[in-house]
């Protein structure tokens, strides 16, 4: 069953209400309890706070009634995956706080992310609320992208540096030298003065920062353990598509946003880029045979 445009608009409005309410609560909160929910992966994937759980509860209070009414599935970071996303025509994909580490540290870089994804993995609605900037970005497939209710205004491709927005774990990771040297070379080839690296945010705000800059990217090379999950990328994938920017795996294929094997997303790498020209340069550098 394909949802009508009217229904998608209604669901997007509900997701906006849910993300905004959760984000406003987050903006007033500081974490009192920090839990370790797993022992593997990066620190960012291991920690959760009581504020994450409160945010999820606020979101679900608004969205739960839509599950039965519209026969939707549900995938949210803080609950086990029940597999309902494989039988429903659409499912909500929710990250109550992406960027928990910046939130714990009291620095910008965290956000609420809600997406509606089709069973085939197509992102259909994307909603991101930044509690620090009090900024809402959303998109509906075929309807465009919006910031605070106004059509998204893409920055003109003018600038002197290439920006890489990435996770804090990048700074101590094995990929750092390989990626930075390649991007510095790309910057030189483009006549830019250099590369600027910002490793202060989580995945959702990294993507939003790429979108807001004239020449920027967020890049992860393929790995089979870690690297982010569906809820980290589903919302911004929809927003990027509607804004005319690039959100693909490193080989240029659409994200597999409903794969059965795992919720992990980095098996084919991650690439967000301001435009296709920059994305193609990055793919040529890292995937020369593609």
Burial-class residue 281 by CB neighbours within 10 Å (0-12, 13-18, 19+).
buried
pLDDT class of 156 with cuts at 50, 70, 90: confident
Distance CA 260, CA 256 (A): 10
Distance CA 15, CA 57 (A): 13
Q: 141 in helix, strand or coil?
A: coil
Note the pLDDT of residue 227.
87
Q: Is 106 left (phi over 0), alpha (psi -120 to 50) or beta?
A: left
Q: Helix 50-69 crosses helix 5-27 at what angle (to 10 degrees)?
A: 160
Beta-strand pair 161-165/216-220: parallel
Note the pLDDT of residue 37.
60
- From 147, 85, 95, 153, select the one nearest 121 (Cα to Cα): 85
Overall average pLDDT of the 229-253 stretch: 97
Complete DSSP assignment for 151-192: E--PPPS--SEEEEE--GGGGGSTTHHHHHHHHHHHHHHTT-
Task: Count CB neighbours of 194 within 10 A.
Answer: 11
Note the pLDDT of residue 247.
98
0.85 surpassed by pTM:
yes
Long-range CB contacts for residues 188-191, cutoff 8 Å, separation at least 24: 189/281, 190/162, 190/215, 190/281
Write out pLDDT tens, residues 2-57.
Answer: 899 999 999 999 999 999 999 999 999 987 767 666 544 554 555 678 999 999 99
Note the pLDDT of residue 39.
45
Half-sphere exposure of 266 (CA within 13 A, CB side): 15
């Amino acid at each position: 069953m394909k949802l009508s445009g009217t229904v998608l608009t209604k669901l997007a409005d509900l997701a906006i209400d849910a993300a905004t309410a959760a984000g406003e609560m987050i903006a007033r909160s500081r974490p009192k309890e920090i839990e370790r929910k797993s022992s593997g992966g990066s620190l960012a994937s291991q920690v959760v706070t009581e504020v994450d759980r409160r945010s999820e509860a606020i979101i679900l209070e608004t969205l739960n009634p839509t599950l039965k009414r519209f026969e939707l599935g549900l995938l949210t970071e803080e609950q086990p995956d029940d597999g309902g996303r494989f039988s429903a025509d659409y499912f909500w994909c929710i990250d109550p706080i992406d960027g928990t580490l910046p939130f714990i540290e009291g620095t910008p870089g965290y956000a609420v992310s809600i997406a509606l994804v089709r069973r085939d993995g197509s992102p259909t609605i994307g909603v991101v609320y930044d509690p620090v900037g009090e900024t809402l970005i959303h998109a509906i497939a075929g309807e465009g992208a919006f910031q605070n209710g106004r059509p998204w205004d893409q920055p003109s491709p003018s600038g002197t540096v290439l920006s890489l927005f990435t996770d804090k774990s990048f700074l101590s990771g094995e990929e750092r030298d390989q990626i930075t040297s390649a991007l510095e070379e790309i910057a030189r080839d483009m006549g830019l003065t250099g590369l600027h690296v910002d490793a202060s945010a989580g995945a959702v705000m990294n993507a939003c920062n790429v979108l807001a800059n004239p020449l920027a990217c967020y890049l992860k090379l393929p790995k089979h353990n870690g690297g982010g999950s569906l809820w980290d990328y589903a919302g911004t994938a929809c927003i990027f598509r509607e804004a005319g920017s690039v959100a693909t795996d490193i080989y240029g294929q659409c994200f597999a946003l409903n794969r059965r094997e795992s919720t992990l997303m980095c098996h084919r790498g991650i690439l967000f880029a301001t435009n296709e020209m920059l994305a193609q340069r990055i793919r040529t550098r890292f995937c020369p045979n593609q």
